[in-house]
Amino acid sequence: MVPLSWYLILSAALFTIGAVGVIVKRNVIAIFLCIELMLNGANLALVALSGFFGDIGGQLFVFIVMTVAAAEAAVGLAIIISIFRTRESLNVDDADTMKL
């Protein structure tokens, strides 16, 4: 059986990759994917811990988070489309109308 610590290490790795990706990526879609990766890192930790405790709460939480992530994706992609329409670019550095 896979010990709990492996799951937690994997989830921490997923979260870190996501967080670093958000910082270094310049493409809006890539940043968005990295955010999803962060959420899934947290999800994995919740599911693993929930299985370990034999407690259903963590799994319920994951279902909710998945739903929220889907809703967020719907809204996020709509916003990304509207920004592409006005700018013809998905690079976040091009979104610089407002500065200090």
Beta carbons within 8 Å of 69's beta carbon, 6+ residues apart: 36, 39
Residue 40: name the closest of 60, 16, 59, 15 by CA. 15
Q: Which residues, 29 to 68, sit near another protein by CB under 8 A?
A: 31-32, 35, 38-39, 41-43, 45-46, 49-50, 52-58, 60-61, 64-65, 68
CB of 62 within 8 A of CB of 47? Answer: yes
Which residues of this protein are in contact with another protein, per CB under 8 A?
Answer: 8, 11, 15, 18-19, 22, 28, 31-32, 35, 38-39, 41-43, 45-46, 49-50, 52-58, 60-61, 64-65, 68, 71-72, 75-76, 78-80, 82-83, 86-87, 92, 95, 97-98, 100
